[in-house]
Structure 1
Amino acid sequence: MGTWDVTPFGNDTAADFAGDLDDLALDERPAAIRAALEAVLHETDYLDRSDGDIAVAAAALVAAQCPGGPPAHPIYGPDQPVPDLPDDLRPLALAALDRVAGPNSESQELWAESGDSLKEWHAELDKLRKALQAEPN
């Protein structure tokens, strides 16, 4: 599965997404993050794990800019700075997290099969949700 832990950047797909962001011009990064979030929201059928992993990583980048938000992973997250993201990404990020952790999602199914890791994964997602729900500065 290419996953080594339950954190948003704890898998190959999310780490690759961070690298892809680093390859973009600074002003192109917010659009790439938005596209990652919207991709899972537009998927009405079964949600592939790789799309889910990317959406969780994108949501983590949005959450990192919120009051009290956990920072992006210092090793597997983007090496280059992410510019200030618009506040309208926050509800998209929340909805994307709900979609990835909901029914008809390969990510949810795979974590459920892993036993106790499902609770740990949900706890990581809850940290992101908490930051995303905080009042903007």
Structure 2
Amino acid sequence: MTAWGTRPYDNDEAASFAVRLDALPPEDHDAFIRTALTREPAELRRHWQEAVAAAAVVAVQCPTGRLLDIGYGPARPVAALPTDLRSHAAAALALVSEGQHDTDSPASATLHALWRARTASLRETLITDSAPSPAQVPGSMHLPPVRPHTTTGPRRTLAP
């Protein structure tokens, strides 16, 4: 795999995933992304770049996901995805993140730390936007929404 950055699509495998997703008709997007996120753990770790790319597609469709900086991604709009994919995406990110370890090189360690932070931000978006709203939880009080963390630089959004 050739990587050129720390965002979800900054590697050859994820870029290839985006090209394959673009080639599919919209009605097949859900199944393609679901397959990338729900593989057996060993397969998920082996294809971790695709899992992160698929999770990014799901995350940008979350209410606060529009603020995520995912860099590149599918060139064509992605069909609206079912909300149950959020929990699958969060679980896949947790699994692949625990399998990624820091390196001995200071430069690589810095890039790895940035990758982990970006992946954690994706997962946080998925978890936060998957939680039931206070109005859906009996007896809960309504609190104002937390202002999401913003990033600098160009933003790429995937239209539903």
Q: TM-score, normalised by structure 2?
A: 0.72
Correspondence for 2:112: 118
Correspondence for 1:34: 34
Any idea what SS the aligned residue of 2:38 has? Answer: helix
What CA distance in whole angstroms lies between the structure 1 residues aligned with 2:91 and 2:120? 13
Residue 43, structure 1, aligned to residue 41, structure 2: yes
1:133, distance to aligned residue in structure 2 (A)? 1.8
- Contact (CA 8 Å) 1:67, 1:134: kept in 2 or not? no
Correspondence for 1:22: 22
What CA distance in whole angstroms lies between the structure 2 residues aligned with 1:77 and 1:26? 15
Percent identical: 41
Any idea what SS the aligned residue of 1:91 has? Answer: helix
- The number of aligned residues is 125
Runs in 1 of length 4+ with deviation above 4 angstroms?
none
Rg larger for: 2
For residues 1-137 of structure 1, the aligned pairs below 5 Å read 1-39=1-39, 42-44=40-42, 47-48=45-46, 51-69=47-65, 70=68, 72-73=70-71, 76-102=72-98, 105=99, 108-109=100-101, 112-113=102-103, 114-135=108-129
- Contact (CA 8 Å) 1:9, 1:15: kept in 2 or not? yes
What CA distance in whole angstroms lies between the structure 2 residues aligned with 1:30 and 1:52? 18
1:34, distance to aligned residue in structure 2 (A)? 0.4
- RMSD over aligned Cα atoms: 1.9
Unaligned runs of 5+ in 1: none
1:67, distance to aligned residue in structure 2 (A)? 1.6
- Contact (CA 8 Å) 1:66, 1:131: kept in 2 or not? yes
1:134, distance to aligned residue in structure 2 (A)? 2.4
- Change in 2 beyond 3 A, CA 1:9/1:46: closer
What CA distance in whole angstroms lies between the structure 2 residues aligned with 1:79 and 1:52? 21
Aligned amino acid, residue 7 of structure 1: R
